[in-house]
Amino acid sequence: MLSTMTTSHSSQRRDTSIVLPSLKFLWEVYRAVLDILKTNSRLEHVYHDVAARAFKFCKEHRRKAEFRRLCETLRGHFQHFQKFGGTAALFAANAHKLKGWDGWTMESLECHLSTRFTQLDIATSLEQYSEGFRTVEDIYSIMQLSKKAPKAKILSQYYEKLINIFWVSGNYLFHAYAWYKYYTLCSEYNKAMTNEQKVEQASCVLLASLSIPTLDANTSLISDDILGGDNDDVANAKTSRLAALLGFSVNTTRGGLLLELKGKNLVNIVPKEVKELYEILEEVSFPKKNNNNAIQFISFRT
């Protein structure tokens, strides 16, 4: 009888009546557990495990709205800690608002960073690039709380995540700079890095830099997905802000990056084919002519 009164397929009716309420209930459970555990230091690992499961839930079921709400929930919890426990004096004055919380520790900060790295991954897979931008700000804020400089391993993981999110979102300039930062950290601190790995990463850095399109003066470096359709002044402000958060130069340009790579002798590390491509694109400004006045184009092996 129901099938004669509606055009919906039986599976659609089942999803509406059974599956969707179950998903909503599961989501509310995740949100409630996170809210209960947010200030309990003894159960902090459980808090971050539940956050990881909630992110997995959003990814598996493509729940973009819930993902954004989850990010806002975690961001609100973090800002709550900053507001009432950012310093020892604030923590002492607001102890009643942070019951069960023992303050910031290196282990706690690393847990928060790990959760934000997962958040970056999910933002990329769900194509939520605006949320990815805000997650970068969250990671920067967490790093600033640490009295010590973040470990090279954590920083390398940070830039490794950014490589993917900037590539998928079409921000090729920041994608190349993220590759350069990742390569620099690995070269300096990864003692187990082989020469083949170093050559491979150097090639990725140079090719990513060559892939940056030549931009006009009025062209934004960040895609509209991140900027949200803002005007030029706001877009430029966000560009400078994002560059500062990532540790890049404010006057980040394609030419400046390529010049720095050449100064660091990275061009001589890459394979011959990649070096020839760089020379053709950046150093050969016009074709040569042979004795017969025919244009002789320079070729390279692929």
CA nearest to 73, candidates 59, 91, 87, 54: 54
Classify residue 165: in a domain, yes or no.
no
This prediction has a pTM of: 0.73
Classify residue 160: in a domain, yes or no.
no
Query: Is the domain of 53 the same as that of 145?
Result: yes
State how far Cα 208 lies from the chain centre. Answer: 16
For β-strands 295-296 and 288-289, DSSP reports them as antiparallel
Classify residue 156: in a domain, yes or no.
no
* Number of domains, the chain: 2
Query: Is the domain of 15 the same as that of 74?
Result: yes
Query: Is the domain of 10 the same as that of 126?
Result: yes
Quote the domain boundaries for residue 174: 170-302
Query: Is the domain of 56 the same as that of 188?
Result: no
Query: Is the domain of 146 the same as that of 10?
Result: yes
Query: Is the domain of 210 the same as that of 97?
Result: no
Query: Is the domain of 73 the same as that of 127?
Result: yes
**pLDDT tens readout for residues 186-225:** 999 988 899 999 999 999 999 999 999 875 444 444 554 5
**pLDDT tens readout for residues 109-159:** 889 988 998 998 899 889 888 898 899 889 888 888 877 777 788 888 888
Classify residue 107: in a domain, yes or no.
yes
Classify residue 164: in a domain, yes or no.
no
